[in-house]
Structure 1
Amino acid sequence: MNSRTKYYLSLLITVAVYFGVSNVVFNKVNDTIHIVIDELFHIPQGLAFCERNFTYWDPKITTLPGLYLVSAAFLGSYFQCNVYNLRFINLIASCVNLLLFASILKFVYGSNNYFKNVMQALNLALLPPLYFFSHVYYTDTLSLTFLLMFSRLCFTNRHKLLILIFGLASVLMRQTNIVWIAMVFGHKALDIFIRSSRVFGNQNLTKVKLSKTSLIARDVDSSKLKRYYGLSDFFVALKYHVSTCMITFFKFLSLQDMLILFTHCIILSSFVAFVYVNGSIVVGDKKAHEATLHIPQIFYFLLFYCVFGLPYVLTKTLSTFKLMITNKLKIVFLGLLFALIVHYNTVTHPYLLADNRHYTFYVWNRWFGKFDYAIYATIPLYVFLLCNLYDNLRNQNCISFLLPYSVCLFVVLALQKMIEVRYFLVPYIILRLRFVKASNLIIGFEFLWYLIINIVTFYLFFNKEILWKDFNYAQRLIW
């Protein structure tokens, strides 16, 4: 049996086991409660669409109708319209996500070690908040499916029409996906920006003429991630292209590059048109989701990384401390900057303080909201985690990814007032897919860690009842 056959066989077995176990959990969830928090809005909307009532719209819903349109495509004509089947769409989507994770990892790291790729794909599918929402009727799982498909197609850039379709569909599932489409566009454009300056600008620096096919102009790492560009390369390229009015940038572009950038521009401009017509990025309940500057969201994302990226945090702990020691002045500056940010920009959404059905409610009220010093006491952890994250990324990525990602991370998180664990899922998954190739020990630790968290969270979901006067049935604790 060759390695290719082993890979697909192991992937097939993994998906089958994943679906079998998840289906047992799914049935238990379905038997436990018929409405989980925001399903109060999503399920009636999904039922209306699958019954072909496309005129009904709940004004409390803030996302575009992608989830409900997919529901209508599969339910009603072929399967019965009910809560079970609506939720089941996300369970199927989670299996598709597992396959997409495996495909992306295989492309990035190659197929030499199929076991690692399949196990990492399984771990990503088991990422606890993502795994939980794969059992209920929320937008997150299916939204990720379309975004992963879009990203996978962008690796080869061969199918422009499919890239356009899945890009638009991912935004139709969740508006914030436009930010990650913009990141892919920025990554591609910045990569060409730097490479074109190396080919044409090198003549001005060293008097040596290079061709477009030279080693310095091509992708030179088999992982397909590393490009060897630093921040200095960006500034050199910027200086060069400004002095030449970007002429050589367009001269460097191939027809393939122009077509793929144009495809991205169609998606981005379509979204701009939507925002202009709608008057906001939010559909429906706009007052509850107004854009607010909330920079500490980046710090809360670092805490998310600490919990769910724990194996990678621990692996790099010693090297992170060494990195911090050799950059003492920068660390002190970061600490002071973070102190100013948390002092002047820590805000709380009313939902966070009132809704005891989410873990964030307990974290906030038992730490940040309980002690006045808490927002400052956590600063050293923020600084360490930022350095640790950089340590996990620096040897596998370059400025053409890190710069667009950082900008997009700020846009998608720091303009949100409400703290939601779900908002951190896509940013974390993007980073997780770009960590340096993990050892078997780390992958095994990650699997056991996620397994433990999932067991605990589902145990609490099934056994902890939260009574609200507004409902005649017990509420449950979720992410």
Structure 2
Amino acid sequence: MGRITVALIVSSWVIPISILVNTIVPEPYMDEIFHVPQVQQYCVGNFKSWDPMITTPPGLYFISLAYIASLFPGILFIQPLSSFINSCSTSVLRSTNGLLAFSLLYRCSITHSSSCYVFYVSQEELHLQCFEPQFGHFASSSSVKVNSNLKRRRSGNAIHTSNHSIHGKSLHQSTGLFSEIWSILLAAWNLKFELFVSFSPFFALLLAFAAFVVWNGSIVLGAKEAHTVSPHFAQLLYYGLVSSCFMAPMHFTTTQVTILANSFWKNKPLSFPLCFFASIITFLSIHYFSIAHPYLLADNRHYPFYLWRKIINFHWSTRYLLIPLYLYSWTSIFTLLAKVEKKVWVMVYFLASATCLIPTPLIEFRYYTIPFFFLILHCRITNDRVWLLMGFIYTSINVFTMTMFLFRPFRWDHQHGIQRFIW
């Protein structure tokens, strides 16, 4: 019954919005001017054709091709088509997005027996095993309890939701960072074979990516000169502030401000030097490693264009005046994560986010997706009011985005065609 409910909810907004978009914007727009013709080449069997402006591999194109092939008999009944290529229209190709959105939601959010959930839990078990020497005996797969904000139901006798505890003994008792690291290193050595087997897919993926970069000479297939790796340290600061804004009911409240202020004054001997050091690092990151990508400056269809012009680069001093907000955002993130995770986990999360974001020279909110998902999954959100407020924020953003995209078009003097606002 739950699966049917989710299917109806997803369909209730995916289908009407898809129809509305295809009615108002029937022609390929933005990057679709590259992707749609490429798939249409595949539809006629021309698999040797490739647009040099496309940056990503063609995996999604093959999925679209298989999807359209499965629909082709049904499309014949709806309207006469002279060939298979005629079914590869822009509207049909766009429907691949809705199909994937629904299938991913169905597999990863509805059933706990799905591969992504099992994989997530298997990594959690190894995470717990690495803490075994310091925090007590390891709970087997029949008794491991995994906390997740996105998974509320029980799954048989194997996995139950809780506050991330093992046999009543908290994993999050106060310990030093170096002690945690040493404990993990010892446990990892004892579990080296299990860890190697578990992480072998990651190693294989890393080696494959390294081989691709060596063979290709870049991290992308096309438009290589516009997608070079750059030390964009300011990107990490932007992410901290943006993710805090998207979780505003948790970060920007009087309760959270009071908690952070009390913690600061309680540990004044350590807080002042850390704050000073963080301010210096933030200042240097902004001054020397704040990149204005040509795409950011030239394309006024994207919201980051206006954030850069109207806020970040409004005045030479504005980017420095935002330093307190950057520091507050990351401090609040660290505080919330530290309530649930060990110090070493918080450190690894920060380093992983930095590795993901710093090499990207273009300010794009889509780059923040994976770090943000991990952040919201591992912040213990038990307050229904917070969930409702966050849901209201996301719904409002989506309504605003679709309204601007569909009903506020504009034109460029130097280029023919209608332009639209988009993320």
Query: Quick one: structure 1 residues 474 and 220, their matched pair in 2 at CA, closer, same or farther if it must change by over 3 Å?
Result: closer
* Residue number among 11, 18, 24 corresponding to 2:10 in the alignment: 18
Per mean C-alpha deviation after superposition, the further-off stretch among 448-457 and 310-319 is 310-319
Distance in 2 between the 1:295 and 1:274 partners?
25
* Residue number among 215, 229, 232 corresponding to 2:178 in the alignment: 232
- The answer for the alignment partner of 1:146 in structure 2 is none
1:27 aligns with 2:10: no
RMSD value, Cα: 3.0
Distance in 2 between the 1:337 and 1:426 partners?
24
- The answer for the alignment partner of 1:309 in structure 2 is 247
Structure 2: gaps (5+ residues): 73-86, 148-161
Distance in 2 between the 1:219 and 1:230 partners?
24
Measured against aligned partners, the alpha-carbon deviations of 1:50-94 in whole angstroms (never above 9, x if no partner) come to 443221111111112221121122124533211112111111222
Report the alpha carbon displacement of residue 353 of structure 1 after superposing the two structures with TM: 0.8
* Residue number among 83, 86, 94 corresponding to 1:87 in the alignment: 94
What is the correspondence of 1:266-285 to structure 2 with a 5 Å cutoff?
A: 266-285=204-223
1:318 aligns with 2:311: no
Of structures 1 and 2, the one scoring higher in RCO (CA 8 A, sep 6+) is: 1
Q: What count of residue pairs does the alignment treat as equivalent?
A: 380
Measured against aligned partners, the alpha-carbon deviations of 1:170-201 in whole angstroms (never above 9, x if no partner) come to xxxxxxxxxxxxxx7xx887765554x549xx
Structure 1: gaps (5+ residues): 1-8, 108-148, 158-183, 200-209, 242-247
* Conserved? CA contact 1:231–1:399, under 8 Å: yes
- The answer for the alignment partner of 1:134 in structure 2 is none
Report the alpha carbon displacement of residue 211 of structure 1 after superposing the two structures with TM: 6.8
SS of residue matched to 1:433: helix
What is the correspondence of 1:338-417 to structure 2 with a 5 Å cutoff?
A: 338-399=282-343, 401-417=345-361
Structure with the greater alpha carbon radius of gyration? 2
1:67 aligns with 2:6: no
1:436 aligns with 2:380: yes
* Conserved? CA contact 1:51–1:72, under 8 Å: no
Report the alpha carbon displacement of residue 230 of structure 1 after superposing the two structures with TM: 5.5
Query: Quick one: structure 1 residues 22 and 77, their matched pair in 2 at CA, closer, same or farther if it must change by over 3 Å?
Result: closer
Distance in 1 between the 2:137 and 2:400 partners?
57
The amino acid that maps onto 1:274 is F
What is the correspondence of 1:127-166 to structure 2 with a 5 Å cutoff?
A: 151-157=116-122
Measured against aligned partners, the alpha-carbon deviations of 1:21-43 in whole angstroms (never above 9, x if no partner) come to 22111211112222221112122
1:297 aligns with 2:235: yes
Report the alpha carbon displacement of residue 350 of structure 1 after superposing the two structures with TM: 0.8
Query: Quick one: structure 1 residues 51 and 408, their matched pair in 2 at CA, closer, same or farther if it must change by over 3 Å?
Result: farther
Query: Quick one: structure 1 residues 74 and 271, their matched pair in 2 at CA, closer, same or farther if it must change by over 3 Å?
Result: same
The amino acid that maps onto 2:322 is T
Measured against aligned partners, the alpha-carbon deviations of 1:356-399 in whole angstroms (never above 9, x if no partner) come to 00011111111222211111110000011111111221111224
The amino acid that maps onto 1:262 is S
Distance in 2 between the 1:461 and 1:67 partners?
24
Q: So what's the TM-score if we normalise by structure 2?
A: 0.80
Distance in 1 between the 2:322 and 2:110 partners?
38
Distance in 2 between the 1:49 and 1:392 partners?
48
Query: Quick one: structure 1 residues 290 and 191, their matched pair in 2 at CA, closer, same or farther if it must change by over 3 Å?
Result: farther
* Conserved? CA contact 1:51–1:76, under 8 Å: no
SS of residue matched to 1:20: helix
* Conserved? CA contact 1:230–1:398, under 8 Å: no
* Conserved? CA contact 1:305–1:428, under 8 Å: yes
Measured against aligned partners, the alpha-carbon deviations of 1:297-329 in whole angstroms (never above 9, x if no partner) come to 011112221331112223533323333344233
- The answer for the alignment partner of 1:37 in structure 2 is 30
- The answer for the alignment partner of 1:288 in structure 2 is 226
- The answer for the alignment partner of 2:399 in structure 1 is 455
Q: So what's the TM-score if we normalise by structure 1?
A: 0.71
